[in-house]
Each structure stands twice: as structure tokens, then as C-alpha cells.
Amino acid sequence: MFSLRNLIIKNNARSLLPKAEMLQRAFSTASAPQVPPPQDAKQPQNIALALARETSIPISQVRVQPASGESIFQRISATPVTASLGAEISGVDLSTHLSEDVVEEIWSAFLLFGVIFFRGQKLSPGEQVALAKRFGELDRHPIVKGLDSHPDVLEIVREAGAPTNFGEDWHSDNSYMAEPSLGSILHAVEVPPVGNDTMFSCAYGAYDGLSPKLRSFLDGLRAIHTAGVAFNPSTVSGGSFDNPESAMKYQKSQDLFSTNFHPVVRIHPETGRKCLFVNSMFTTEIEGLSKAESKQILDFLFSQFGQPHISCRFRWQAGDVAMWDNRCLQHVAIGDNSSHKRIMRRVTLKGDAPV
């Protein structure tokens, strides 16, 4: 039986780089030549990281491998949610100071599965901040104000019976910024007994599902991203720009009015895979095309997200944590239960300019 895991081991396809160096190395194309590992690279190789970087195989075949044989992790347990993305991680208490080896394995799982879930965690805002800092620099939201005690923590509140559209369109967090957020860590503080799930969809799979001719056409194009529509002061709900009593308070920062150009197809800087990087919440048009042409093409690209075969749906319980890679997936909050209060706390990791 074919095993991508055994093939990688046999051929010594990749080696684990120390994390500091791993995060700095960028893959310019999916077929980029492999960089020889430094002499002090850890051995044996990190199979999860090797799988994440295996660009010659469809992502669903890559991500199903951990469910097909012995564990590829030594310090955590990962159970894939679907073949296309997502895994539940167990054996970890996120409120504690994790060892470097555990942090490395969590990051490898993050790269491999796109979104990872931790059940039954108890995190204070300070502990959530400390956890996020193990993976990178924090990215403070430029429009929605964070907690007074922890400004980097965004508390997303939906009061029982209150209308809101916060996060209820497919999107990648903060793609309107010049350097969009790398990843997000969301903690469920209070959730309804049923409903208000979150869906995630794989941007690798969305790109791979396009015809070769359309992929060729899209490669090299740039699209405009802006927060001005989603956070329009006259239409936004779920928070307020001028009500000091609102549970969520917005501010009119420069990011609300600015626009940024990003590639329609970006290359993930750590895996080398190509993925669609346009979303219905923040992407408004494609550079060099008419508004009518942009709308038709973007509407088609937006429709690729949410397809069942490249998506997963997570049902929240109080204490759960989700950690996802904004560079290669999109998500949407499902606002199907407005009769119960919902409180979530999110921190985001600073990213870089997409290429």
C-alpha cells in the first residue's frame, strides 16, 4: 500500500529546521529546489513538517496520511477531522508553559492541517496572550478595540437576541492590511448549547480545483482588499463606533479607509503551496479589470469556498480553542442561534506581505 509518509522517510525528502530558521525560509515556488539542512538540524526528521511541504501531492492525500498508520507525532495526538483540512489535538494543556518540542509539534500540525482544535481548555486572557507569543508576534486589531486589560485580545460578544454580522461572510482575518494576519487563536468562553458553529475551507483545495487555464490566468493578478465595506460605520452590526455602552467598540483608524493590493494567488511562505487569496468580506476588485469583469471572476472564486469536499465544520463547546492559518484557509461564523449569548476571545499573529 502506498504511504506518502514512508516515501518521505525512505527518500529523506525533507529535514526539520530549527523553528527560528524555519519561519524565515520562504518557498518562492511550489517546485523550488530544496535547501540542504544545517549540520545541527534535529534528527529524526519531522514527518508532519515534511508532509506539509510535500507540494507534489494533492493536499487531501497529504492530510489523510496521519489517519492511515502510526502516529507522526511524538508529544501530541492529532486526529484529522476531514481529508481536506482540520485536526483535533489532544494531550496538551495550553494554559501551561509548553516545552519547545511540544510547540514545534503544534506548529507542524498547524502547517499540515491548516486548522487545529483543542477541546476543554481553560485560558485566561493573559494565558491566551502568552500562548500566542510562543508562535510569533501578536497582531493587534486596528479597528475593533481589544480588552482594556489585554488590548491584543479581541472579545467577540453576541448578546442574546442581538443581531450581528460579525464574521458571517467567508474571509481571511485582516486581509485588508498590508501584512495580513498569519494566524488566529480563538477561545470559546461562553457558547450556546447548539448552533453558532464555525466553518473552515481550504484555499489550497480551492486553487487546485480550478482548471489549469484559469489557474494560469489568475497567477500574477492582484486584487484590492479593504475594510471599508465590512466595517462601514453606517451598516456595521455587532458593535458600535460611537456607543460607549456597546460590548464591542470600533474605532475609525487609517486601516478602515485604506486599500491594499495582494496577489489573487499567493504562495504559502512555509509550505510552498499555491492558494487562492481573495475573500467575499474584504476583496472588492481585481487590478486591471473592469468592475463588471472583476465582479464575475471574484464571485466565481468566492463560490469555491465552502464546498463540502474542501471544508470542515467545528461545533464549539465552552473552553475549546481553534488555531488556524489565515494564509491558506478561510472561515465563516454561522449565526444561526441568536437566542443565546456567545463570547469568544481571539488573538492574531502578525504576518507578512503575500507573494
Clarify whether 173 is annotated catalytic. yes
How many angstroms separate the CA atoms of 156 and 145, rounded?
10
- Phi/psi-derived region of residue 23, left when phi > 0, alpha when psi is between -120 and 50, beta in every other case: alpha
Strands 183-190 and 222-226: unpaired
User: In sequence order, what are the beta bridge partners of 79?
Assistant: 88
Catalytic residue among 152, 173, 255, 325: 173
Clarify whether 331 is annotated catalytic. yes
Residue 317 CB contacts under 8 Å (≥ 6 apart), including other chains: 119, 120, 188, 191
Cell readout for 3 is 504511504
How many angstroms separate the CA atoms of 218 and 336, rounded?
34
How many angstroms separate the CA atoms of 81 and 113, rounded?
9
Strands 87-90 and 198-202: unpaired
Rounded (5°) CA angle 222-255-203 = 40
Catalytic residue among 141, 171, 266, 273: 171
- The answer to whether 120 and 57 are in contact (CB under 8 A) is no
Clarify whether 134 is annotated catalytic. no
User: In sequence order, what are the beta bridge partners of 262?
Assistant: 223
Q: What is the full DSSP assignment across 162-227? A: ----TT-S-B-TTTTSSS--SEEEEEEEE--SS---EEEEEHHHHHHTS-HHHHHHHTT-EEEEES
Catalytic residue among 141, 331, 342, 345: 331
Residues annotated as catalytic are: 171, 173, 331, 346
